[in-house]
Amino acid sequence: MDFALTETQMMFQQAAADFARQEVDPVAIKLENAKEFPWELTQKMAALGFMGLVIPEQYGGAGADYLSYLLVEGEMAKTSISLSMTLGAQNSLVALPIMGFASEEQKQKYLPIIASGEKLGCFALTEPNAGSDPAGMATTAVKKGDKWVINGTKIYITNGSVAKIAVVWARTGTRSDGKPLISAFIVDRDVSPFKTGTVEDKMGVHASPTTELIFEDCAVPAENMLGKEGDGFKVALLTLNTGRLSVATQSIGLATAAYDRAKKFARERKQFGKPLTEFQGISFKLADMITDLNAARMLTYRAVWLKEMKGLSDPEFISVAAQAKLFASEMASRVTSDAVQIHGGYGYMKDYRVEEFFRAARLMEIVEGTSEIQRLTISTWELKQ
């Protein structure tokens, strides 16, 4: 395997690093404290092509490969996990399922407005009684003439309050084995209105709103079904399998930021007449942190390689993607915790930002499938070998 990045990949990564340093870093703390969605920065990301990185050029996107997208997302996560979440929702959770399952007419209609950032998107799967178990879904879609009428509530939807395009899952019937028939729909809020319910008050990642969405007799044109009736599980699983690499990358990005701050602080901070780096208790922590980071990065890159070589449905890719997400997210919790510890009392203060990354890291072990779900996915594959 060649670990060298291509010239194009390095170009995307550098563009993201420059944008993060020049535009985001000076206001990052203010954004989190304000708990407001950063519209201006989001539109600037769109102007750079970041909102449609994975979308082919023929639909107005950047036509980047998946690793280029992850590199951009990782750079954003070093400065603002909230903006990286918006980037991930647009590219990974909305654009990818449309690219993979939509008709040509649907692609031409929706991908350009997603790529341009004209409309933001969200992934509406989770419900009060359907998180790790989507079969417990209660939202329904009933066919009435040339429309599907959706009723139900979704929760914990990233950017739900600002999104205009939602990929929504609902029960459309019952299979012969008695299990629910789940289908996916592209819902344009301007055409088929739905409501924003509770905007959650979260532990962290404050500039990315997490909300409840309420569908009350939401009439969606029949041609907006994504794929065939009953394809919902397939659409969700393939999207989540790929999205796990997005979460792994965000975990690596925020953990890298915490590590860099901890290393800088340890070099500058003196106790008992010498820098903290001269104490083994600190230098060994830093050694473990960078080893963890590099291990997570290599595991994620291998999963990307398997995706390109074998495809999204390949069982080995699915297992390694779950491994990457599991290891990287738990790594981020370890690294950010150690970063706080190295800073001592300073680490508990917001100005140093390591406490912010510590709080954000905790989310990574939950989104796109909890650590327990990742272990279930991995063990299911391994025990078949």
Q: Are 372 and 251 in contact (CB under 8 A)?
A: no
- Tokens 């007449």 correspond to 273
Please give the average per-residue pLDDT across 262-268, as a whole number: 98
Question: Please, what sign has the CA dihedral across residues 9, 119, 208, 334?
Answer: negative
Percent of the chain predicted with pLDDT > 90: 93
Q: Return the pLDDT at 1.
A: 62
Q: Give the C-alpha distances (Å, rounded to integers) separating 44 from 48, 114, 117, 206.
A: 6, 14, 9, 19
Tens digit of each residue's pLDDT (9 = 90 or more) over 81-107: 999 999 999 999 999 999 999 999 999
Instruction: Provide CB contacts within 8 A for 187, sequence distance 6+.
Output: 124, 150, 165, 166, 167, 168, 194, 218, 220, 224
pLDDT at 119 over 70: yes
Closest C-alpha to 321, from 131, 92, 79, 59: 92
Separation of alpha carbons 82 and 79, rounded Å: 9
Tens digit of each residue's pLDDT (9 = 90 or more) over 285-315: 999 999 999 999 999 999 999 999 999 889 9
Instruction: Provide CB contacts within 8 A for 370, sequence distance 6+.
Output: 132
pTM of the model: 0.94
Q: Return the pLDDT at 113.
A: 97
Residues paired with 218 in a beta bridge: 150
In order of their start, the domains of the chain are 7-115 (1.10.540.10), 121-229 (2.40.110.10), 233-382 (1.20.140.10)
- Tokens 């060298």 correspond to 4
Q: What's the whole-number average pLDDT of the chain? A: 95
Q: How many CB atoms lie within 10 A of CB 39?
A: 11
What are the φ and ψ backbone dihedral angles of 157, each rounded to 5 degrees? Answer: -95, 115
Separation of alpha carbons 203 and 363, rounded Å: 9
Q: Return the pLDDT at 82.
A: 97
Could you tell me whether strands 274-275 and 140-144 are parallel, antiparallel, or unpaired per DSSP bridges? unpaired
Confidence class of residue 27 from pLDDT cuts 50, 70 and 90?
very high
- Tokens 């590219």 correspond to 91
Catalytic residue among 356, 368, 372, 382: 368
Separation of alpha carbons 81 and 88, rounded Å: 10
Closest C-alpha to 329, from 372, 276, 380, 288: 372
Q: Which two tokens stand for residue 371?
A: 């650590």
Q: How many CB atoms lie within 10 A of CB 375?
A: 14
Instruction: Provide CB contacts within 8 A for 90, sequence distance 6+.
Output: 51, 52, 114, 117, 120, 121
Please give the average per-residue pLDDT across 49-65, as a whole number: 96
Confidence class of residue 131 from pLDDT cuts 50, 70 and 90?
confident
Closest C-alpha to 363, from 337, 336, 333: 333
To the query of whether residue 330 is one of the catalytic residues in this protein, the response is: no
Confidence class of residue 12 from pLDDT cuts 50, 70 and 90?
very high
Confidence class of residue 132 from pLDDT cuts 50, 70 and 90?
confident
Confidence class of residue 133 from pLDDT cuts 50, 70 and 90?
confident
Instruction: Provide CB contacts within 8 A for 257, sequence distance 6+.
Output: 77, 78, 79, 353, 357
Closest C-alpha to 163, from 218, 93, 238, 96: 93
Separation of alpha carbons 197 and 154, rounded Å: 9
Q: Return the pLDDT at 175.
A: 86
Tens digit of each residue's pLDDT (9 = 90 or more) over 162-217: 999 999 999 999 888 888 899 999 999 999 999 999 999 999 999 999 999 999 99
Tens digit of each residue's pLDDT (9 = 90 or more) over 351-375: 999 999 999 999 999 999 999 999 9
pLDDT at 48 over 90: yes
**DSSP per-residue codes, 257-311:** HHHHHHHHHHHH-EETTEEGGGSHHHHHHHHHHHHHHHHHHHHHHHHHHHHHHH-
What are the φ and ψ backbone dihedral angles of 92, each rounded to 5 degrees? Answer: -85, -45
Q: How many CB atoms lie within 10 A of CB 214?
A: 16
Closest C-alpha to 77, from 14, 10, 6, 25: 25
Q: Return the pLDDT at 385.
A: 79
Closest C-alpha to 162, from 89, 217, 84: 89
